[in-house]
Amino acid sequence: MSNIRVAVIGGSGIYKLEAIKVKGSHSVSTPFGNPSAEVMECEVDGNSFYFLPRHGIGHHFTPSEVNYRANIFALKKLGVDTIVSVSAVGSLQEQYSPRQFVMVDQFIDWTKGLRKRSFFDDGIVGHVSAANPVEAGLSKRLFAACERAGVGAHLGGTYLCIEGPQFSTKAESQIYRSFGAAVIGMTNVPEAFLAKEAGMAYATVAMVTDYDCWKAEHCTVQEIMDVMKSNYVSAQAFIREAIPDLVRNPVSIVAENEYAVITDPGLLNTSHREILDVILKK
């Protein structure tokens, strides 16, 4: 067990950024199966952090296939208490422009029930508030890192999560806009809720690639990929500002999972306790 407390979950392109040095990797077993990949131990400007490619090395898991429980559990087992989620999204409102980053503060779950979204099942009943799924203090610090890096950013906004892998129809996109959601993506639910259950500070950096399909102009997948490449250049500048700050000045966390479990302790078996020993650890 190292003393690394910060982890980044993101696309495969993140760990290939010039600013990041990969020092090694950790194979972590979990009661929920394998994480998306081995957890990489990385360094930026002498500051160590973990990185987990959400879709696996080479991007081979669809959003629905990602083992979100294993990913979050593995990071918590390694001692992580702060997660920065870097995700590509579409914009649902004019003011959130492609190539800008949005520090999301709320989520709307529009997935289809295919994803395991809680650690509390199979004999463990527990409830954790998801009223504020993002750690506000962490989000503000990530926004400040964007400003220092010269990356256009917005503090606050709702992330609407769809199942995917298809993008929205125009009719769906208009419905989502009517909800007042800022951006649309496919991966941060249940990731954010699981981090909350595990008592971890979690925040999303949503990198805008396009205006979804609600706007008049058509945007091809190739155009989206081109913007993503540009966003990764900005991500490199952002990472160099954010990670050293979080490593040197750890986030203060108030976990909300301490009294989550309501199942009679006498009914908990060895497997249950293995799970709870990790996710409830302070």
- pLDDT at residue 1, rounded to an integer: 54
Pairwise CA distance, residues 53 & 40, whole Å: 9
* Mean of pLDDT values over 62-78: 98
Backbone angles phi, psi at 174, to 5 degrees: -65, -35
Strands in 170-244 per DSSP E: 183-185, 201-210
Name the active-site residue from 210, 226, 264, 277: 210
Q: Is 212 a catalytic residue?
A: yes
Q: pTM of the full predicted structure?
A: 0.95
* Mean of pLDDT values over 70-81: 98
- pLDDT at residue 218, rounded to an integer: 61
Name the active-site residue from 212, 245, 264, 277: 212
Whether 127 has a pLDDT exceeding 80, the answer reads yes
- What CATH number was assigned to the domain covering residues 6-271? 3.40.50.1580
Angle at 246 between CA 184 and CA 186, to 5 degrees: 15
Q: Is 277 a catalytic residue?
A: no
Backbone angles phi, psi at 248, to 5 degrees: -75, -30
Cis preceding linkage at 31, omega within 30: no
- pLDDT at residue 193, rounded to an integer: 98
- pLDDT at residue 9, rounded to an integer: 97
pLDDT (tens digit per residue) in 84-111: 999 999 999 999 999 999 999 999 999 9
pLDDT (tens digit per residue) in 193-202: 999 999 999 9
Whether 251 has a pLDDT exceeding 90, the answer reads yes
Mean of the per-residue pLDDT values for the chain?
Answer: 94
pLDDT (tens digit per residue) in 211-247: 998 987 666 777 777 787 788 889 999 999 999 999 9
- pLDDT at residue 14, rounded to an integer: 76
Which of 8-17, 81-90, 202-211, 214-223 shows the lowest mean pLDDT across its residues? 214-223
